[in-house]
């Protein structure tokens, strides 16, 4: 038996990752095709209750490093309508169509720098960043960036999970605020790297849950003179990477 964890993006704002598990008798991860599945779109802001069926079309399969088994995989999916058209929330398909419409083969690369903040468990609105004191605030920013920050165990476990899953993680570092970190994905083709980014985010959520923590991608998780968190996106083409690339960048 093989356990397939299906992942897709919902219609909420901000977008969230949804998942459900399918058990199949046999599955060949290399070259095999995960079966098409479905879900109730009325529960994910992707359909009305009167017509709630949505389709999950697998687009990429990863080994699942969170399961102690060679028979467990992560199946990243696009959302489609039952009439075999892309769902309006299917931005992956939109990206693919945009790239295909470019007449020239620009060989585009993207690389992501995903910053995140770890939070301790607690009531919503009362949670504090991981490692912060119960009363007041920690020492001012200055020593945390690429220094001794808290949460290194989470970062290392996430890095190892990404490597085991085949996610193209290429670096990590402690960030400016206590309890804040960053990982980098890429660089490579925009579709593949975008897929890897979403799987990396899902892995982080699950790992934090195991340690009774949560992860926030909020651009300003703490008000005041504390660092924000973003996802810097680096973009290049074969022209900007080549000799005389500055000419194309400033053109």
pLDDT of residue 251: 78
Copy the structure tokens of residue 56. Answer: 């999950």
Total structural domains in the chain? 2
In a domain, 97, yes or no: no
pTM: 0.95
- Residue 47, in any domain of the structure: yes
Please indicate, yes or no, whether residues 87 and 163 belong to a single structural domain of this protein: no
| Predicted pLDDT of residue 121 | 87
pLDDT at 26: 83
Q: Which domain holds residue 37?
A: 2-91
Report how far residue 250's alpha carbon sits from residue 226's, in angstroms, rounded to the nearest whole number. Answer: 34
Residue 18 falls within a domain, yes or no? yes
Residue 83 within any structural domain of the chain: yes
Same domain, yes or no: 126 and 14:
no
Within this chain, do residues 13 and 79 fall inside the same structural domain, yes or no? yes
Tell me the CATH number at 63: 3.10.20.70
User: Which two tokens mark 104?
Assistant: 């020239």
CATH number at residue 178: 3.30.590.10
Give the CB-side neighbour count of residue 141, counting CA atoms within 13 A.
Answer: 15
101 lies in some domain: no
* One domain for residues 84 and 134: no
Do 115 and 19 have their domain in common? no
Is residue 98 situated within a structural domain?
A: no
Residues 219 and 174 in one domain: yes
Bridge partners, 234 (sequence order): 111
Residue 127 domain-assigned (yes or no) = yes
List, for residues 195-208, the tens digit of each pLDDT value. Answer: 999 999 999 999 99
Is the residue at 237 inside a domain? yes
User: Taking the chain (251 residues) in consecutive chunks of 10 residues, what is each chunk's mean pLDDT?
Assistant: 97 98 84 87 97 97 94 97 98 96 92 98 82 94 97 99 98 98 98 98 98 96 96 96 89 78
Tokens of 90: 């299917």
């Amino acid at each position: 038996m093989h356990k397939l964890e299906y992942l897709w993006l919902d219609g909420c704002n901000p977008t969230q990752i949804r998942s459900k598990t399918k058990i199949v008798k046999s599955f060949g991860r290399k070259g095999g095709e995960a079966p098409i599945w479905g879900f109730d779109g009325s529960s994910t802001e992707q359909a009305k209750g009167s017509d709630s069926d949505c389709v999950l079309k697998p687009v990429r399969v990863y080994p699942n490093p969170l399961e102690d088994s060679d028979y467990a995989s992560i199946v990243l999916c696009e959302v489609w309508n039952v009439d075999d058209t892309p769902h309006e929330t299917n931005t992956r398909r939109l990206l693919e169509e945009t790239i295909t419409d470019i007449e020239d083969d620009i060989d585009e690369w993207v690389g992501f720098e995903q910053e995140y903040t770890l939070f301790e468990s607690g009531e919503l609105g009362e949670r504090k960043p991981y490692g912060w004191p119960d009363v007041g605030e920690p020492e001012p920013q200055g020593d945390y960036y690429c220094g001794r920050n808290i949460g290194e165990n989470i970062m290392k476990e996430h890095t190892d999970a990404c490597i085991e899953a085949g996610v193209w993680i290429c670096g990590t570092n402690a960030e400016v605020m206590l309890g804040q970190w960053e990982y980098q994905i890429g660089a490579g083709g925009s579709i593949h790297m975008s897929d890897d980014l979403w799987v990396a985010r899902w892995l982080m959520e699950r790992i934090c849950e195991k340690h009774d923590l949560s992860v926030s991608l909020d651009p300003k998780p703490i008000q005041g003179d504390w660092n924000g968190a973003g996802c810097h996106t680096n973009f290049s083409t074969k022209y900007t990477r080549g000799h005389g690339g500055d000419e194309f960048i400033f053109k």
